[in-house]
Amino acid sequence: MDRVVIVGGGFAGLAAARRLADAPVEVEVVDQHNFHTFQPLLYEVATAGLDPADVAYPIRTVLRRTPNAHFVHGRVSGFDLATRSIRLEDGRTLSYDRLIVASGAAAAVFGVPGVVDHALFLYTLDDARWVRNQVLAALERSDASADDTLAPVIVVVGGGPTGVETAGAMAELIDIAIRHDRLRLDPQRTRIVLLDAKTRLLPGFPPGASAYAERTLRARGVEVRLGLGVDAVSPAGVTLAGGELLPATLVIWAAGVAVDGTVAADLPGRRGPGGRVMVQPDLSLPDHPEVFIVGDAAAVPDPGLATPGEGHLEADHTERFLPQLAQVAIQSGDHAARQVLSLLEGRPTAPFAYHDKGVMATIGRRSAVAQLANGVIVRGSLGWLAWLVLHLVYLIGFRNRVVVLVNWAWRYFRWPSGPRLIIGDVPAGPPTVSRHGQIDCPECGA
Amino acid sequence: MDRVVIVGGGFAGLAAARRLADAPVEVEVVDQHNFHTFQPLLYEVATAGLDPADVAYPIRTVLRRTPNAHFVHGRVSGFDLATRSIRLEDGRTLSYDRLIVASGAAAAVFGVPGVVDHALFLYTLDDARWVRNQVLAALERSDASADDTLAPVIVVVGGGPTGVETAGAMAELIDIAIRHDRLRLDPQRTRIVLLDAKTRLLPGFPPGASAYAERTLRARGVEVRLGLGVDAVSPAGVTLAGGELLPATLVIWAAGVAVDGTVAADLPGRRGPGGRVMVQPDLSLPDHPEVFIVGDAAAVPDPGLATPGEGHLEADHTERFLPQLAQVAIQSGDHAARQVLSLLEGRPTAPFAYHDKGVMATIGRRSAVAQLANGVIVRGSLGWLAWLVLHLVYLIGFRNRVVVLVNWAWRYFRWPSGPRLIIGDVPAGPPTVSRHGQIDCPECGA
């Protein structure tokens, strides 16, 4: 029986596995984590609205519905396309007849000095947990200090959905910390600054939605500063283009994503923006019809006319490729699996066509903007409700849906609960720095 | 206004803070963690039945009901009784008029070589998360290997409630891993061994309950080996008294607790078993009527006749002191706070009298033994139900109760859900060892 190896248990990889559930193939899903991460909600983990377990789901549980699929826990170290096998870091090799690479992306730093060492990211669950611990520990340090000049300043770089959602939820977190948790912070000195080099927020949305997002964030106390590039990040803060130093307690870098280079570096062929692997219209790797690249790892040409979503492209993606969104990942993973089945049956492959279902972003509690596929804009409470329903529908696994719903119900009714827990990323003992070398945290979880 | 400092946000510390809620005093609760840990359920976290957030609750949220209490996030480094102040590791000092020390305990290793370096513990939330990650990663490693001799062997040392509950829940976890998560483990070779130097399990319970626990565990596949001391723990496994080497993938040390020495070392006066601080009958420190020691940190003389619970004492506590149980912690914390109020009003202090409410232990799903205060033994499903209700009642905070109840309902109806997530204790990158220097874990969370 043909063996299909899927690298990555994200949206794209699991969509591919599910499509192959009833097919006469043996499927192996490889991931370095034993869980799927619901990335669109990582900002909620980072701002202590949801717990890490609310947005993570064991891949083995997901695969119960696909009895021909098996999970392999390991980190891919390279591809050997000639022998049709992949290597894992622990020395194992997995051979395949068909390969679907859904290895995802990582934060893009665009070569800005200091970002890797001094900023926090929001791309993995560990990133989000680390941001949560750092933010809560910074609030506790300010509470402990009688010096108001130590009030936390949180700078979010990036005005796309992730930056907007993070800034909005962070404003709520600080509001709860002051009003309900009685942290001794001066609301006038506790600042959240949202920066972007572009001149409007949510560049993938229509201008009216951008203006609404900006207005709503300002009303919640977020300072929105647009048209300002970042020259460097240091322990002192952010150096803006032009030389101004914006002092910052924490810098959250949400300026864009690039391909996860460690996995994709081995693959032949041209690269698109952010190092993404250029694929054929059917999503296969040039000269390797048995290999498909899907999700954030792929640079998928956007035919433009076929999709009403061209206007939604985030500005850090060029106009010519599909954006790195969950919907693109799900649909491309599913498409690749369908092509595997076509090849198995001796049929030709078909080009991938993306069906835009719209884009949306929350701006804190009870506010969101959504552009539906038909171009209609929904905003305010109705937009938030649309966002909630859509995310619940896509949350994998019933148990998670219940827990997430309970949390959200709480938030909606302004019962300021939530897991504001500093559960140590770092083993107790002397403070350490994370893999990104972020500011260390003498009090968090030690 | 008098200032009362409470060291520790566990059962004892929070019981004290709550008692002082309406009193004309200013209260400060100091803890190195910003959350309370529901320790009786840590074994559920370790066996992936509950998520860490299910058994942790932010102390600031708990203190909303005590408006005169403030939380201080920090680790105590010492006491200066002469100037009535405590020192924190970050250099701060807190002065007090009355001090309540509820600093808890830590795992006791009884000088057995290799335990600190090679065993896992179950005393803090980080311990429990670490055990969970190690166990799940060990199962994944066995799945990855074609060599059945690498099947995991999990040795639990300690036949008290923690050891019995952990071994029972671990048997369920492995059952779920094989039957539902389709891990390729050989059930015949996957072993759970429960060891104790004593000749029966649950020495604090009547012999009938011990026999029931042993029978139930054996029926679930746990190997119970009694009357066997441990001479050493090494990466290879456990060396038993007599020289036999019991090979082990993981060793979980649940053999007892001692005082947390880092906090209590500074206090004057005699020490009881496990280094606990000997207190006066009113729980005050000898010669320091303004200082009270409560909970696991205190060696409280047991008048014996007054409590029907003498038979419940775990064997690693001497007969003359109250056991280190949540009920003793809660009642002693409350008592100390009452004495603070008495002193404030110029009244004399009263001796502490412990009211035994019984003891209980689960033995996996739908089984438990409980000895009620009136001596009645409840076991089986009814015991489990009693255990569940009691623990839910004591779980702090409504939100946690709902989530925990959902999880338990799942388990009861044999829907094998649960957060079997290897969420990295260790930052991604090269494998590291924990503060206990446990076996490293190349695949967990990296």
Task: Look at A420 and B64 and tell me if their CB atoms are within 8 Å.
Answer: no
For residue B361, which phi and psi values (nearest 5 degrees)? -150, 140
B142 Cβ neighbours under 8 A, 6+ residues apart: B150, B151, B152, B183, B184, B185, B190
Tell me how far the alpha carbon of residue A296 is from its chain's centroid. Answer: 10
List the 65-84 stretch of B: residues with Cβ below 8 A of A. 70, 72-75
pLDDT value of position A225: 97
Task: Look at A126 and B424 and tell me if their CB atoms are within 8 Å.
Answer: yes
Task: Look at A74 and B144 and tell me if their CB atoms are within 8 Å.
Answer: yes
Q: Out of A26, A44, A140, A165, pick the active-site residue.
A: A165
User: Does A445 contact B at CB distance below 8 Å?
Assistant: yes
For residue B174, which phi and psi values (nearest 5 degrees)? -70, -35
Rg of chain B over CA atoms, in angstroms? 22
The mean pLDDT of B416-440, rounded to a whole number, is 43
Q: How far is A35 from chain B (nearest CA, A)?
A: 6
Q: How far is B99 from chain A (nearest CA, A)?
A: 19
CA trace torsion B328, B333, B335, B336 (10° rounding): 130
Q: What is the DSSP string of A180-209?
A: TS-----TTT-EEEEEESSSSS-TTS-HHH
**Greater confidence, A373 or B275?**
B275
- Going from the C-alpha of A195 to that of each of A198, A206, A224, the distances in angstroms are 9, 19, 6
The mean pLDDT of B316-333, rounded to a whole number, is 80
Provide the sign of the torsion angle of the four alpha carbons A61, A62, A66, A71, taken in this order. Answer: negative
Task: Look at A424 and B126 and tell me if their CB atoms are within 8 Å.
Answer: yes
Q: Out of B165, B172, B214, B314, pick the active-site residue.
A: B165
Angle between the N-to-C axes of helices B161-179 and B207-219, in degrees from 0 to 180, rounded to the nearest 10: 20
pLDDT value of position A263: 67
A415 Cβ neighbours under 8 A, 6+ residues apart: none
The mean pLDDT of A361-383, rounded to a whole number, is 82
pLDDT value of position A6: 98
Q: How many residues does chain B have?
A: 446
Give the up-direction half-sphere exposure of residue B82: CA atoms within 13 A in the CB hemisphere: 1
Q: How many CB pairs under 8 A join A and B?
A: 159
Task: Using the predicted structure, report yes or no on whether residue B166 has a pLDDT greater than 90.
Answer: yes
Task: Look at A422 and B34 and tell me if their CB atoms are within 8 Å.
Answer: yes
The mean pLDDT of A153-157, rounded to a whole number, is 97
Tell me which residue in A34, A181, A419 faces B60 most closely, judged by beta carbons: A181
List the 106-145 stretch of B: residues with Cβ below 8 A of A. 124-126, 129, 136-137, 140-141, 143-144
Q: Residues of B with CB below 8 A from A182's CB?
A: 60, 63-64, 70
Task: Look at A422 and B56 and tell me if their CB atoms are within 8 Å.
Answer: no
pLDDT value of position B412: 57
A28 is catalytic: no
Among A10-19, A210-219, A356-365, B77-86, which is the least confidently predicted range? A356-365
Task: Look at B144 and A61 and tell me if their CB atoms are within 8 Å.
Answer: no
Helix, coil or strand: residue B281: coil
Task: Look at A144 and B90 and tell me if their CB atoms are within 8 Å.
Answer: yes
Helix, coil or strand: residue B350: coil
For residue A155, which phi and psi values (nearest 5 degrees)? -105, 125
Mean pLDDT (chain B) is 84
User: Does A236 contact B at CB distance below 8 Å?
Assistant: no
pLDDT value of position B304: 60
pTM listed for this prediction: 0.87
**Closest chain A residue to B399, measured at CA:** A417
Q: pLDDT confidence of B358, banded at 50, 70, 90?
A: confident
**What does DSSP say about strands B98-101 and B288-293: parallel, antiparallel, or unpaired?**
parallel
Q: How far is A227 from chain B (nearest CA, A)?
A: 35
Q: Which of A105-109, B42-46, B266-270 has the highest mean pLDDT?
A: B42-46
Give, in degrees to the nearest 5, the angle at Cα A349 between A345 and A353.
135
Q: pLDDT confidence of A113, banded at 50, 70, 90?
A: very high
Q: How many CB atoms lie within 10 A of CB A85?
A: 16
Do residues B44 and B162 lie in contact, with contact meaning Cβ atoms separated by under 8 Å?
no
B264 Cβ neighbours under 8 A, 6+ residues apart: B101, B103, B275, B276, B277, B293, B297
User: Does A348 contact B at CB distance below 8 Å?
Assistant: no
Q: Tens digits of per-residue pLDDT, A260-318?
A: 766 677 898 888 888 899 999 999 999 999 999 999 999 998 876 333 333 333 434 44
pLDDT value of position B241: 93
Task: Look at B126 and A406 and tell me if their CB atoms are within 8 Å.
Answer: no
Tell me which residue in A52, A90, A426 faces B443 most closely, judged by beta carbons: A90
Domains in chain A with CATH codes: 2-32+74-105+258-344 (3.50.50.60)
List the 388-417 stretch of B: residues with Cβ below 8 A of A. 397, 399, 402-403, 406, 410, 417
